[in-house]
Structure 1
């Protein structure tokens, strides 16, 4: 009995395998041309997508489009061509793409909601690359952060400062905000008080000569020095000059020291705050 049962089970399995084989054979015979045609279409589509990507990249280079944006556009066009070819290939196989498109649309909507912040960064990155409010090497002030533009990508902008810190700012925090671009320089603002008994014109000439002698201080625009205010104990001279961003603090501190020494050598006094106090006695 056991042998008979085993033989029957083997026969059933053989019949099932034979049925699967027959179904596969019929499928290959019936749809072989469609499968072959779909494969040919897809392979040709990949080749066309690659050619279109190279053509778009070369066109962007010819028209001086930003490297990041040109790469994004060429890759996007390549993906669109591949998707179109895949839809055509599936249609060749007789597979309806309508449910597939609907599913992709639903997934895209869900992914868009989940990655809203990231997508907004990419959209802002495209805006920055197209409008070019700054380029690599410019000195900018964004969200209270000052630094030199090191890299501009679709998702973020990277800055560096004099200490070598790497500052990463998401692009959505740049577009639509107030942006200061001083290109390769930063403004130094200082104030020095001199005595009322000294000649302010002599002090201004002395300070101007010091700043002119410093190579790192920008000559165009030239430094501006003048009377800023009249204090209780001194005439306050305002000083404004531009220095390279990468050497901002080094040049600023050096210039301050040289200006102080020059005023001392010229006999110009930098007074300290003074206050006169009078005591009134009770005569009654």
Structure 2
């Protein structure tokens, strides 16, 4: 019992001595941390107002403001630690060792975050653009530091790691997507008349882009028909719907105007043996 009381007395004396020598330093360090917290929040809000006033990209604005806020708060913590006489050199060394270990263990995740930073800085696309990457199509719904979310016509969300967005071939068609199609007409028909009818159908669809004019012409001469090529642009979210409706309208107008769409035919001759 006496031993425990002596130990408690020693601990009490150490605490009192520490508070006697460092009470003002602790109070000063606490005040510095509080000031740093409010200063970081104020600078963050100020930067966001400036970015918003100058119409900066929202993703880039939040990223830059958050980094500045974190740096200011970290600097104030360093000052506060120095106020109470704590050296930050061992902490820096420990953080470096931990960061190296974590970086090696989480190489894939770290590369995704690094790619996310590059995307935010270089801005090869923005929310609302139509992207084609790794065989997937969709409208950019959200850009995160580690991944990008696309939404397709079926309202499916496609999550793509950002390292794919940087290291793969990326096609950005902005708010539309091109339809490449074709239709064959018989050689005895007038191709100019068929092309005029196709253009008439395309111009009647409100979802077919008027800014990007449809392109219609002879693509090639097939074995049994003249192949007419079609290229027109439609909103990404109604890509298949519009394409199917256009195909039906093309069939109907060619049928009404008696323009035949031939199918492949083969003529087989059987030669008899000579007597």
Shorter chain as denominator, the TM-score bin is over 0.9
Q: Is structure 2 residue 112 aligned with structure 1 residue 121?
A: yes
**Aligned equivalent of 1:16:** 7
Q: How does 1:132-211 map to 2 (within 5 A)?
A: 132-211=123-202
**Aligned equivalent of 1:108:** 99
**Aligned equivalent of 1:240:** 231
Measure how far apart 1:129 and its partner are. 2.1
Alpha-carbon distance in structure 2 between the residues aligned to 1:15 and 1:221 = 89
Q: How does 1:15-94 map to 2 (within 5 A)?
A: 15-94=6-85
Q: Retained in 2: the 8 A contact 1:192–1:236?
A: yes
Sort the Cα spacing of 1:108 and 1:282 in 2 relative to 1 into closer, same or farther, 3 A: same
Cα deviation, 1:35-87, whole Å, max 9, x if unaligned, reads 22222222222222222222333333344332222222222222222222222
CA RMSD of aligned residues (A): 1.8
Q: Is structure 2 residue 247 aligned with structure 1 residue 256?
A: yes
Measure how far apart 1:171 and its partner are. 0.9
The correspondence for 1:130, drawn from 121, 126, 133, is 121
5+ unaligned residues in a row in structure 1: which ranges?
Answer: 1-9
Alpha-carbon distance in structure 2 between the residues aligned to 1:134 and 1:12 = 71
Q: How many residues align?
A: 275
Q: Retained in 2: the 8 A contact 1:68–1:154?
A: no
Structure 1 ranges of 4+ moved more than 6 A: none
Sort the Cα spacing of 1:64 and 1:114 in 2 relative to 1 into closer, same or farther, 3 A: farther
Query: Which has more radius of gyration?
Result: 1
**Aligned equivalent of 1:276:** 267
Q: Is structure 2 residue 256 aligned with structure 1 residue 265?
A: yes
5+ unaligned residues in a row in structure 2: which ranges?
Answer: none
Alpha-carbon distance in structure 2 between the residues aligned to 1:185 and 1:240 = 12
Alignment TM-score, normalising by the size of structure 1:
0.90
